[in-house]
Structure 1
C-alpha cells in the first residue's frame, strides 16, 4: 500500500471523478451534498472520494455547525509538479544525448556510404 505523499497524491488523481471534484473545489469550497449535486453518483460515493482526497492531503475538511465543508489544498500539487518537472529535465537530457548521437551516427554514415564516393 502506498504511504508516501507523492504516491498518495498520484493515486488520488488517478480517478476521473476525483479530478472532477478537485476542479469543482478549485472554484469554491463545498459540502458533500453540494459536490454530490454535480455528479451522477450517490452522496456516500462522493463522501468516499472526498476521504481519499483528504487522506492524500489534496483537500481539507472543516466543520461549521452541522456542515462539513471541503476545500482545495495546493501544497501536494506543488510537490507532484516539482517531481514531474524533475523527470522532464531528466528525459529531455536523455533525448538531447540521443539526438546528438544520431547526428554523429548520421554524419558517420554519410562519410562511409559507398554511394557518396
Structure 2
C-alpha cells in the first residue's frame, strides 16, 4: 500500500505528526493560507503543501481561492470515525479494568 492509498482516510491522514499539527493549527485559527502555515514547520512550502493535499484527500481540509491565495480550513467531520473507533476501545478497557478490580478484590477476601 503506497502513501496515497493509505492517506485517503482519516486514520492514514492523522498518522503523521505534521498532519496532526496542521489539523491543530487550522482548528485554532479557522482558516489560513499556506504562507502562514509554513513557518510552523521545519520544512518548505512544497512539503507542507503535500501534507495539506493528503488531508484534503481524506476530507479533513477544505480550501478556497481568495484572489491569488488559497486558504485552508479544517473539516472535522471525518474525525468522527476516529472518535468512534477510539471510544469503542475506551469502553473495552474500562470493562476489563472493572473485571480486574473485581478479581483482585475477590482474591483479597
State if a TM-score over 0.5 links the two structures: yes
- Where structure 1 has 5 or more consecutive residues not aligned to the other structure, the ranges are 108-117
Residue 85 of structure 1 corresponds to which residue in structure 2? 87
Q: TM-score of the superposition, structure 2-length normalised?
A: 0.80
- CA deviation digits over 1:2-55, x for unaligned, max 9? 6697xx223222222212211211112112222113322111100111011112
Tell me how far apart the structure 1 counterparts of residues 46 and 7 of structure 2 sit (CA, whole Å): 26
1:55 paired residue among 43, 54, 57: 57
- CA deviation digits over 1:54-85, x for unaligned, max 9? 12221111223322211001112222122211
Q: CA deviation at 1:92?
A: 0.6
Tell me how far apart the structure 1 counterparts of residues 7 and 42 of structure 2 sit (CA, whole Å): 31
Q: TM-score of the superposition, structure 1-length normalised?
A: 0.75
Residue 110 of structure 1 corresponds to which residue in structure 2? none
| Cα pair distance change 1:4/1:72, threshold 3 Å | closer
Task: Report the count of equivalent residues.
Answer: 105
The structure having more radius of gyration, on CA atoms, is 1
Tell me how far apart the structure 2 counterparts of residues 69 and 62 of structure 1 sit (CA, whole Å): 5
Residue 12 of structure 2 corresponds to which residue in structure 1? 11
| Cα pair distance change 1:48/1:4, threshold 3 Å | closer
